[in-house]
């Protein structure tokens, strides 16, 4: 005889339901998601069908409700699970969405959509297509205006490397996109959160989400922040083939070539819950603190600080622009 089930949580958000589901499973409480508009029980979220219900075995219901209540108390309100995850990612992106659903859509892998029997969950593949086009346009514009001495072939090669999957995967990993992906169970079990291809695809989709939410200026701002380190490496004379390398190595090479002290990275602060910490890292060259950056890991924060430092030091070494030069 099947065990009786009790509904312990209701929400309109697929992400919030899965946050709470993960919280329960971490305590050894198995749960099922279902829709208020369907008699079927689904293994994953079912956006598009109205209210989503989270059910557990009746004999575990009291414990499950206590776990959820404790989480709400710690978080401050019942929606803080999704709100906190969204806010943390928005902080890393440097962009706050007016329509949070666009960000959710950008993070939804096809494995999640395929496992949803309702057909109400859309994957991010169309957004990848749009994000790829937006990236191509803005990077081509920057190369055209900032590197007039490059011939067409050199510009094309630089653009291809800048927007190649390995480059986007590294940028996406530094933002912590993997931990926010909405995956199907099979993809989750196979380590999808760490797959560079999935992270690169999600990165393109996030670019599209920002473009759709805030228009071209918002997308330009995000892409300029993300690629400033790589463009600084180009301005500093680094080979195009090295663009997909890491910023820490690029900065070390730049400093060594000029007889400067090697960079030193120090963790200045950490904050956030243990499962979603943010690290702030200071980068020093000699006695001077040159840059500070934040990231979901110390490595990501160090990479961000190195990118900032490289851009700043290269600009200082180049001196003020001559009269008549393009300034920005």
- Name the residues annotated as catalytic: 132, 204
Of the candidates 242, 279, 287, 245, which has an alpha carbon nearest to the alpha carbon of residue 263?
A: 287
- Give SS3 for 246: coil
Which stretches within 176-326 are classed as H helix? 185-189, 196-235, 247-257, 298-318
Asked if 21 and 101 touch (Cβ cutoff 8 Å), the reply is no
Provide the token pair at 285. Answer: 């060259």
Q: Which residues of 117-147 are buried (b: 16+ CB within 10 A; e: fewer)?
A: eeebbbbbeebbebbbebbeebbbebbeeee
Of the candidates 233, 255, 234, which has an alpha carbon nearest to the alpha carbon of residue 307?
A: 233
* Separation of alpha carbons 53 and 224, rounded Å: 41
User: Which residues contact residue 230 at a Cβ distance below 8 angstroms, ignoring those fewer than 6 apart?
Assistant: 162, 167, 243, 307
């Amino acid at each position: 005889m099947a065990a009786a089930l009790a509904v312990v949580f209701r929400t309109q958000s697929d992400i919030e339901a899965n946050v709470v589901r993960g919280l329960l499973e971490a305590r050894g409480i198995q749960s099922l998601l279902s829709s208020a508009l369907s008699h079927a029980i689904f293994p994953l979220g079912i956006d598009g069908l109205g209210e989503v219900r989270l059910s557990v075995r009746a004999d575990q219901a009291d414990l499950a409700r206590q776990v959820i209540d404790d989480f709400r108390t710690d978080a401050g309100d019942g929606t803080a699970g999704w709100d906190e995850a969204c806010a943390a990612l928005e902080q890393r992106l440097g962009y706050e969405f007016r329509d949070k659903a666009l960000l959710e859509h950008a993070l939804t892998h096809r494995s999640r959509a395929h496992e949803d029997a309702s057909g109400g969950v859309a994957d991010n593949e169309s957004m990848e297509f749009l994000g790829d086009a937006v990236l191509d346009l803005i990077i081509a514009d920057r190369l055209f205006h900032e590197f007039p001495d490059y011939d067409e072939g050199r510009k094309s090669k630089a653009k291809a490397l800048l927007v190649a999957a390995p480059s986007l995967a590294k940028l996406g990993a530094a933002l912590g996109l993997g931990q926010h992906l909405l995956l199907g169970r099979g993809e989750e079990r196979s380590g999808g959160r760490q797959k560079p291809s999935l992270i690169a695809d999600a990165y393109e989709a996030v670019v599209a989400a920002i473009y759709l939410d805030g228009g071209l200026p918002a997308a330009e701002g995000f892409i300029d922040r993300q690629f400033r380190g790589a463009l600084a490496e180009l301005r500093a004379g680094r080979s195009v083939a090295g663009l997909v390398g890491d910023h820490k190595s690029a900065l070390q090479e730049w400093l060594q070539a000029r007889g400067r002290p090697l960079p030193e990275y120090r963790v200045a602060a950490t904050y956030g819950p243990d499962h979603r910490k943010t690290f702030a890292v200071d980068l020093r060259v000699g006695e001077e603190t040159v840059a500070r950056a934040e990231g979901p890991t110390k490595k990501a924060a160090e990479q961000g600080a190195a990118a900032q430092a490289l851009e700043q030091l290269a600009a200082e070494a180049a001196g003020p622009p001559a009269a008549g030069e393009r300034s920005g």
